Amino acid sequence: MSRSISAVRRQQEGVATLPLLIGAGILVLLAFVVWGLREAHILASVGSANKGKLLCSAVFVSGRAPDAVLDAELGGGALDQVSVSIDPQTGRTTTALFWVRADSVHRPGLGCTRVVGTDVAALRQQIDLDRLPPAPDLSGLPWPTGDELADGPPSGFDQASLEALLDAAFISDGETATGTRALAIAWQGQIIAERYAAGFDRHMPLTGWSMTKSVTSALIGLRVGDGVLSLHDPAPVPEWQELDDPRRHITLDQLLRASSGLEFAEVYGSLKSDAVQMLFGPHGGDMGSFAASKPLIAEPDTLWNYSSGTTNLLQRILRDSFDSLEDYHAYVRERLLYPIGMTRTTIAPDAAGTLVGSSFGYGTARDWLRFGLLFLHDGVWEGERLLPEDWVAYSVTPTRADPLGRYGAQWWLNAGPSDRPEARPWPRLPRDAYRASGFEGQYLTVVPGHDLVVIRLGYTPDRARWAMDEFVADVVEVLEAGNAGADMN
């Protein structure tokens, strides 16, 4: 009898437990569904925003055919599932995946901006384009400000050897394709080689990605030279002004050198990383504010942490130093771009009107080459000083917080560790070489000791397919061989 009662009791307990197990299972299932929907939303948001923004820029800034862009770099994998609509009349792209839609809009002279936290009509009215200076007509002017090159072939080196290097740089077969789209070389101030892939030419602005950071540095330098900003005083960031906020002591110098100590994950393999969420996620409406919201993870000047966030914060600081958005955008043109002939260059703003100085600069190969020449010539352009004296030297001085000697003020360096200069990043190039470098193979390399600037633009997601330092080193060898031959004669 007792056994029967125990069995009944156990059966009753099991029956009573069953609803709890079912309830727990439902909760787990619901949690899994919520997690899956959240992950799908992140994928859809970033994927649609990425495709829409890059397509807008490629079509309305570079002037490329939409189908060519989609086939070359915005297709494959999940991106194939993102629907696309392009309105040539309004300069607008609309992309969608699942239930998420993303809009980007082109404004003449400003590039393409993601519509985040605002609408298209508000963006159209944000900046009075009539108050911005038009690009000057430089037609007929000689290089470097204009596009008229010196007559006759360059001399002093083996032209055939140089052309062979360019041939190799434009290999397009499936096994060894480099993805090079534009390549130009300036030696002793003159363009000695220039080539473009099919469908691209010297008039076409192309993305520089993080090469834009070096332009941001130059703009900050100009404002420091004006006496409006100070390198070593606390950066004027409103969010940091509480007396107990440790960030209030961060300086412009530390922001420029990526040694501010601010948290920022410069990772592109994760859709949730700071960099991706800033450029293509919900924080793209005001990227400088997103960067300013980050906490300290280290004392300033003790940790080097490459960060697109702090570059965009620098641009917001620059913007806030002017009375209006029109004054800010005009300054960029009148003080830097137009004086050196960069008339086909744009840096797109975010939805707050601040230039995305970390990533969204578009310029022709010749324009990027001009920018390199400005730094090669110590900030002097055709006899006129544009950048403050010593700004170039400051920019290429290694950052103390980077023990490998690879970074200055928004420029990549070849200095190497102070105690082991032979361990420099590009061993075949001299220590004085430095570079503006961008995602997917954008490189502007300056080699002062050889009076040389090289620009390479392309689409090379696999970095193993293009070694910029090796190419530039080979160019140096060709030039040195020519000089040696001239000396013998």
DSSP output for 261-305: -B-----SS-TTSHHHHHHHSGGGGSHHHHHHTPPBSS-TTS---
Do 393 and 262 belong to one domain? yes
Do 253 and 360 belong to one domain? yes
- pLDDT for residue 118: 95
Q: Are 436 and 411 in contact (CB under 8 A)?
A: yes
Alpha-carbon span 353 to 367, nearest angstrom: 23
Asked which of 67, 92, 107 is the last residue of a domain, the reply is 107
Residue 77 lies in a domain: yes
Residue 67 lies in a domain: yes
Residue 167 lies in a domain: yes
Helix-strand-coil split of the chain, %, nearest 5: 45, 15, 40
Give the three-class secondary structure for 107: strand
- pLDDT for residue 378: 98
Among residues 359, 393, 184, the alpha carbon closest in space to that of 274 is found at 359
Omega within 30 of 0 (cis) for the link into 388: no
Alpha-carbon span 303 to 339, nearest angstrom: 37
Range of the domain at 435: 159-488
Q: Are 110 and 348 in contact (CB under 8 A)?
A: yes
Do 420 and 273 belong to one domain? yes
Residue 414, C-beta contacts closer than 8 angstroms, at least 6 positions apart? 406, 424, 425, 426, 429, 430, 431, 432, 433, 434, 435
Residue 144 lies in a domain: no
Across 330-383, the runs of DSSP E, i.e. the strands, are: 346-347, 361-363, 380-381
User: How many domains does one find in the chain?
Assistant: 2
Integer angstrom CA distances of residue 162 from 190, 346, 391, 472, 487: 15, 31, 33, 11, 19
Angle at 233 between CA 228 and CA 238, to 5 degrees: 80
Alpha-carbon span 172 to 232, nearest angstrom: 48
- pLDDT for residue 489: 47
- Give backbone dihedrals phi and psi of 458, rounded to 5 degrees, phi first: -175, -170
- pLDDT for residue 146: 97
Q: Are 416 and 425 in contact (CB under 8 A)?
A: yes
Q: Are 478 and 185 in contact (CB under 8 A)?
A: no
**CATH number, domain at 340?**
3.40.710.10
Residue 368 lies in a domain: yes
Do 62 and 168 belong to one domain? no
Among residues 442, 473, 482, the alpha carbon closest in space to that of 205 is found at 442
Residue 139 lies in a domain: no
Residue 131 lies in a domain: no
- Give backbone dihedrals phi and psi of 153, rounded to 5 degrees, phi first: -70, 150
Strand 83-87 and strand 442-447: the pairing is unpaired
Asked which of 107, 126, 151 is the last residue of a domain, the reply is 107
Asked which of 74, 90, 107 is the last residue of a domain, the reply is 107
Do 210 and 98 belong to one domain? no
Do 432 and 335 belong to one domain? yes
Do 89 and 186 belong to one domain? no
Q: Count Cβ atoms below 10 Å from residue 120 Cβ, excluding itself.
A: 15
Structure token pair of residue 12? 């009753």
Do 177 and 102 belong to one domain? no
Residue 407 lies in a domain: yes
pLDDT means over runs of 10, the chain (489 residues) = 53 60 64 53 81 97 96 85 93 92 96 96 96 94 95 83 96 85 97 96 98 98 98 97 96 98 92 92 94 97 97 98 98 98 98 98 98 98 97 97 96 94 93 97 98 97 92 97 62
Question: pLDDT tens digits for 64-98?
Answer: 999 999 999 998 877 888 999 999 999 999 999 98
- Give the 3-state secondary structure of 319-332: HHCCCCHHHHHHHH
Question: pLDDT tens digits for 181-226?
Answer: 999 999 999 999 999 999 999 999 999 999 999 999 999 999 999 9
Do 280 and 210 belong to one domain? yes
Q: Where are the alpha helices (DSSP H) in 357-416?
A: 365-376, 391-395
335: enclosing H helix or E strand: none
- pLDDT for residue 130: 95
Do 224 and 306 belong to one domain? yes
Do 88 and 27 belong to one domain? yes
Tokens 């806030």 belong to 320
Q: Count Cβ atoms below 10 Å from residue 203 Cβ, excluding itself.
A: 13
Alpha-carbon span 364 to 87, nearest angstrom: 25
- pLDDT for residue 268: 87
Do 73 and 13 belong to one domain? yes
